A = this chain, B = another copy of it.
Amino acid sequence: MKGWSFLRANLETMDVCEESMPIKWNGLGGRSLTSRVIGEKLPPTCNPLGQENLLVFATGILAGCGASSSDRLSVGGKSPLTGGIKESNVGGKAGQAFARLGIRCLIFSGSASTWKIAHISKDGIRFEVADDLVGLEIYEATSRLRQKYGKNAAILTIGPAGEMLLAAANIGVGDMEGIPARHAGRGGMGAVMGSKRLKAIVVDPTGGEPPAFFDSEALVAANRNFSKALLAHPVTGKSMPIYGTSASINTINTLGGLPTRNFSEGSFEFAERISGEALHDLILERDGKTTHGCMPGCVVRCSNVLPSENGQELTRAFEYESIVLLGSNCGISDLDAIGCLNHRCDELGLDTMEIGVAIGVAMEAGLASFGDAEAALKLVNEVATGSALGRVLGSGAAVTGKVFGVSRVPVVMGQAISAYDPRSLKGTGVTYATSPMGADHTAGNALPGSTLPDGTRPDPAQSENQVRLSRYLQHLAMTFDSLGLCWFTRGPILADPSLLMDILHAHYGGSWNMEKLLEQAGEALQVELAFNRAAGLGDQHDLPYFFRTEPLGMQGRVFDVPIQEMNQTLKRS
């Protein structure tokens, strides 16, 4: 029986090598696999933009099984932004295309001498010249590639930002409709792809044959149960499909945790205008789509399509993080303006979060006024010009802060903090400070209501139990990112883990339980920490000092989780 395949492609020699999954890595997928590959094959001190770095793609453990929201694709490498190990995962249809070809892992090594496209199909990998795509923005490049390779192919591309090797560069991935509005956003994986002179990856699943399932019939039933549970849950069945991820803007604003004007405030006087409700109404008013799936088979469909006033598409996959960091964090309250910023980032191949925070820092430095949407757009467009200023912004918030001498720079390990102020959401703050990924909410986001397995539900604004909570959530996030499963499905699964275990059993046989998955996640986290240590990064991570000393909002909150306690967060148990 055909197993999952493990591919290696060297861009310098153009050699391609297909193997079966190394036995020791059986049972791994997504982040646990990309991090294992990096931990084993990459010299930790290598230059992230040097040819030694690897660009690793891995499908999740659940890949191809047909369960809702289970085909996220992990992208890993050494990050030019953080200098540490990185995994960034993405929805859209790429993961499923990889899965349909039976690919569990694909590693790009070396650097090509001229720009290339990697074409992947049932016939293997071949490299094609990409000369006519060089310099093209992501939407345009994707559109040309779809014309050439057909609509069945999943396309992954970098934009000018990735070509320029900017540390905020992401990789654009087509959604269900092939529109490149999904991104492996964080940590500069687009720059790593650029450093290999790989402009695009085309994955044509036609005729592919994934490995067989242990019990296909049981799988269909288990998937159906899972979908039912998702649809019955108030978050995945109702609020997310209707309002999208920005449903939580009002909540976070009320909590005083909405980054506003470069994290100088925790609530935004115009939060209402950029809220999920406002976006929902605006989309409906313009005949857009409030309920839109990023990947085939997802029943949650939290994505959206926002038309402009004149009815043309303005942007899509317009999410909480982007809206807040390009919006309130820059003092901007006009959804159209924020949508336009979001879309330009998507076209240029820039992480909206990193750029939102970088613009906030630039505004603090006086390069533009808070609230000046036109100036913000000019700054984003500056990146496209390749000017020094554009390159600074495209190198992210930490570099922007250094270059312009700003002292309030919300970053950890060189990566911008995402759209939750850690003074009001302290568990997320612990994750920012201690995750091997740098400040990344997806590594373990302690949203209000987050509950420990023993039923403890820490108050987000208090420091008690936040280290325990972050530890748990970081293990859980690693688990979901290794399964290839969207984090948004955790509600129903945590309420009834058998939903997930039934799918895993039907997929692979054997017996599965949450404890074992969390234990495996812990091992993967230790691999990541060891890599970072060997790369020269310290074991002691704190948040930027101002979070501990500048009181936030009327409540005057500071981040006060003791650092000694934080250092225990990911200690091997």
Chain A residues in contact with chain B, CB under 8 A? 43, 45-47, 49-50, 52, 80, 164-167, 191, 194-195, 387-389, 391-392, 395, 399, 402-409, 532-542, 544-546, 548-549, 563
Given that A387-B388, A388-B388 are contacting pairs, would A165 and B405 also be in contact in the complex, using a CB cutoff of 8 Å? yes
Query: A195: which B residues are within 8 A, CB to CB?
Result: 405, 407
Among candidates B52, B164, B532, B544, residue contacting A47 with C-beta atoms closer than 8 Å: B544
Given that A47-B407, A47-B546, A549-B52 are contacting pairs, would A395 and B402 also be in contact in the complex, using a CB cutoff of 8 Å? yes
Nearest chain B CB to A503's CB is how many angstroms away? Answer: 40
Structural contact, B391 and A545, CB atoms closer than 8 A: no
Given that A405-B191, A534-B540 are contacting pairs, would A46 and B391 also be in contact in the complex, using a CB cutoff of 8 Å? no
* Residue ID in chain B nearest A544 by CB atoms: B47
Query: A539: which B residues are within 8 A, CB to CB?
Result: 533, 538-539
Structural contact, A405 and B164, CB atoms closer than 8 A: yes
Query: A52: which B residues are within 8 A, CB to CB?
Result: 545, 549
Structural contact, A407 and B49, CB atoms closer than 8 A: yes
CA distance A431 to B377 in the complex (A): 46
Query: A391: which B residues are within 8 A, CB to CB?
Result: 392, 403-404
Query: A406: which B residues are within 8 A, CB to CB?
Result: 49
Query: A538: which B residues are within 8 A, CB to CB?
Result: 532-533, 535-539
CA distance A195 to B406 in the complex (A): 10
Among candidates B388, B405, B541, residue contacting A403 with C-beta atoms closer than 8 Å: B388
CA distance A546 to B46 in the complex (A): 8
Given that A392-B403, A404-B391, A407-B195 are contacting pairs, would A536 and B546 also be in contact in the complex, using a CB cutoff of 8 Å? no
Query: A403: which B residues are within 8 A, CB to CB?
Result: 388, 391-392, 395, 399, 403
Given that A389-B388, A402-B167, A403-B391 are contacting pairs, would A541 and B545 also be in contact in the complex, using a CB cutoff of 8 Å? no
Query: A402: which B residues are within 8 A, CB to CB?
Result: 80, 167, 395, 399
Structural contact, B545 and A536, CB atoms closer than 8 A: no
Structural contact, B536 and A166, CB atoms closer than 8 A: no
Structural contact, A47 and B545, CB atoms closer than 8 A: yes
CA distance A167 to B541 in the complex (A): 22
Nearest chain B CB to A85's CB is how many angstroms away? Answer: 13
Nearest chain B CB to A430's CB is how many angstroms away? Answer: 15
Nearest chain B CB to A295's CB is how many angstroms away? Answer: 32
Instruction: Enumerate the 6 nearest inter-chain pairs by beta-carbon distance, A residue then B residue, closest first.
Output: A165-B405, A388-B389, A388-B388, A50-B407, A538-B538, A47-B407
CA distance A389 to B391 in the complex (A): 9
Query: A389: which B residues are within 8 A, CB to CB?
Result: 388
Structural contact, A540 and B544, CB atoms closer than 8 A: no
Query: A46: which B residues are within 8 A, CB to CB?
Result: 545
Query: A549: which B residues are within 8 A, CB to CB?
Result: 52
Query: A43: which B residues are within 8 A, CB to CB?
Result: 545
22 A-B residue pairs with CB within 8 Å = A45-B542, A45-B544, A45-B545, A45-B563, A47-B407, A47-B544, A49-B406, A50-B545, A50-B546, A166-B405, A167-B402, A194-B405, A388-B388, A391-B392, A395-B402, A399-B403, A532-B538, A533-B540, A536-B538, A538-B538, A538-B539, A539-B539
Query: A80: which B residues are within 8 A, CB to CB?
Result: 402
Sample of 16 more A-B contacts, CB < 8 Å, known A45-B542, A391-B404, A392-B403: A45-B544, A45-B563, A47-B544, A49-B407, A52-B549, A164-B405, A194-B405, A387-B388, A388-B392, A391-B392, A392-B392, A399-B402, A532-B538, A535-B538, A535-B540, A536-B538
CA distance A131 to B191 in the complex (A): 44
Query: A399: which B residues are within 8 A, CB to CB?
Result: 399, 402-403
The residue in A46, A47, A408, A535 that gathers the most chain B C-beta atoms within 10 A of its C-beta is: A47
CA distance A391 to B387 in the complex (A): 13
* Residue ID in chain B nearest A111 by CB atoms: B407
Query: A540: which B residues are within 8 A, CB to CB?
Result: 533-536
* Residue ID in chain B nearest A541 by CB atoms: B536
Nearest chain B CB to A558's CB is how many angstroms away? Answer: 13
CA distance A45 to B563 in the complex (A): 11
The residue in A47, A50, A403 that gathers the most chain B C-beta atoms within 10 A of its C-beta is: A403
Query: A387: which B residues are within 8 A, CB to CB?
Result: 388
* Residue ID in chain B nearest A165 by CB atoms: B405
CA distance A549 to B52 in the complex (A): 10
* Residue ID in chain B nearest A539 by CB atoms: B538
Nearest chain B CB to A47's CB is how many angstroms away? Answer: 4
Nearest chain B CB to A266's CB is how many angstroms away? Answer: 20
Query: A405: which B residues are within 8 A, CB to CB?
Result: 49, 164-166, 191, 194-195
CA distance A50 to B364 in the complex (A): 14
CA distance A498 to B148 in the complex (A): 82
The residue in A388, A389, A538, A549 that gathers the most chain B C-beta atoms within 10 A of its C-beta is: A388
CA distance A542 to B535 in the complex (A): 8
Query: A407: which B residues are within 8 A, CB to CB?
Result: 47, 49-50, 195
* Residue ID in chain B nearest A536 by CB atoms: B538
Query: A533: which B residues are within 8 A, CB to CB?
Result: 538-540
* Residue ID in chain B nearest A390 by CB atoms: B388
The residue in A194, A399, A408, A540 that gathers the most chain B C-beta atoms within 10 A of its C-beta is: A540
CA distance A536 to B537 in the complex (A): 7
Query: A545: which B residues are within 8 A, CB to CB?
Result: 43, 45-47, 50, 52
